[in-house]
Chain A
Amino acid sequence: KQEVTQIPAALSVPEGENLVLNCSFTDSAIYNLQWFRQDHGKGLTSLLLIQSSQREQTSGRLNASLDKSSGRSTLYIAASQPGDSATYLCAVRGNYGQNFVFGPGTRLSVLP
């Protein structure tokens, strides 16, 4: 059974800092992995989707990498801004028709 963890649970950084959020999964037989952002009291907004054949995806100041063999993905945020403050969740989809399994999220606070 796939399990997804995200460490740390919460992170606080000053504005302008580059930061890395981590996502670990136990079963490397994945189809794809998706990163989401969730603002307080809101739904999830898709940030990046990485297929199992890809090593990374980039969108603006965001870069997500995938290392299936080690069961890890990282989300890199460059030049963080207060508007980046939110909870970031990763979700992993298995190869054999399984649905997405979500991590608990990392709550990010970027201080002005």
Chain B
Amino acid sequence: EAGVAQSPRYKIIEKRQSVAFWCNPISGHATLYWYQQILGQGPKLLIQFQNNGVVDDSQLPKDRFSAERLKGVDSTLKIQPAKLEDSAVYLCASSLDRGTARTGELFFGEGSRLTVL
């Protein structure tokens, strides 16, 4: 079974530029998450989708971050304009959760490491 796919693996940009990350979850997984992980810390949730609807985006800095999950499969996370403090690893995860069937186990991709200069 293919895992969660993410690209690009690495990205270096200057502040105020824009960047986009892509994620394809495990086939059949209804729920998709984007996390931000700063060096030395645990992942912090940015946004959760169930199918193509947003369930939780309370911690997403909406003035500069946006995300979409068209057709309920793959997803894109965009940052525009980037700030120095956005340097982090952006992790995509998926789970089987569907409605009230919360099997709950999270599966992560390899992450996209962003460096903002």
| Alpha-carbon separation in the docked complex, A32 to B105 (Å) | 9
Contacting A at CB under 8 A, from B39-68, are 40-45, 48, 56
Once the chains bind, are A105 and B42 in contact (CB under 8 Å)? yes
CB distance from A109 to the nearest CB of B (A): 15
Given A99-B56, A104-B42, do A46 and B110 touch, yes or no (CB 8 Å)? no
Once the chains bind, are A31 and B106 in contact (CB under 8 Å)? no
Once the chains bind, are B105 and A4 in contact (CB under 8 Å)? no
| Alpha-carbon separation in the docked complex, A51 to B113 (Å) | 32
Q: How many residues of B contact A (CB 8 A)?
A: 23
Once the chains bind, are A43 and B40 in contact (CB under 8 Å)? no
| Alpha-carbon separation in the docked complex, A34 to B104 (Å) | 9
CB distance from A77 to the nearest CB of B (A): 19
| Alpha-carbon separation in the docked complex, A45 to B3 (Å) | 11
CB distance from B105 to the nearest CB of A (A): 5
| Alpha-carbon separation in the docked complex, A104 to B106 (Å) | 17
CB distance from B100 to the nearest CB of A (A): 10
Once the chains bind, are B41 and A104 in contact (CB under 8 Å)? yes
On chain B, the residues within 8 Å of A32 by CB distance are 104
Once the chains bind, are A91 and B42 in contact (CB under 8 Å)? yes
Proximity string of chain A (75-94) to chain B, C-beta cutoff 8 Å, 1 when within and 0 when not: 00000000000000101010
Which 5 pairs between the two chains have the least Cβ-Cβ distance? A102-B42, A43-B108, A44-B108, A43-B110, A49-B105
